Amino acid sequence: MKANIGSSDKLIRLGLAVVLIIIFYKGILSDTLGIIALVVALLLTVTSLVNFCPLYSIFKINTTKKKEEKK
């Protein structure tokens, strides 16, 4: 598994996960939508921690910074 998530992408994913969790616990999203929000938050957290997103590999997206090649 090659890393395909950059640091800024990781921060956005974690921030969105926190927002979804807060929205659920405040009661704004409840029932089925709340559970879906928690599952999405879990997926965003896991993908940001392992630096790999399966959807990015399918669509050939890579947000990691490229290392400069030595001459």
Listing DSSP states for 27-66 in one string gives: TSS-HHHHHHHHHHHHHHHHHHHHT--HHHHHTT---SPP
Q: What is the predicted pLDDT for the residue at 38? A: 97
Domain that holds residue 24: 7-58
Q: What is the predicted pLDDT for the residue at 1? A: 83
User: Is 27 a domain residue?
Assistant: yes
User: Is 30 a domain residue?
Assistant: yes
User: Is 29 a domain residue?
Assistant: yes
10 has a pLDDT exceeding 60: yes
Q: What is the predicted pLDDT for the residue at 65? A: 86
User: Is 33 a domain residue?
Assistant: yes
User: Is 71 a domain residue?
Assistant: no
Overall number of domains in the chain:
1
For residue range 25-70, what is the model confidence (pLDDT) as tens digits?
999 998 999 999 999 999 999 999 999 999 999 999 999 987 755 5
User: H/E element holding 12?
Assistant: helix 7-26
The Cα–Cα gap between 52 and 50 comes to 5
User: Is 63 a domain residue?
Assistant: no
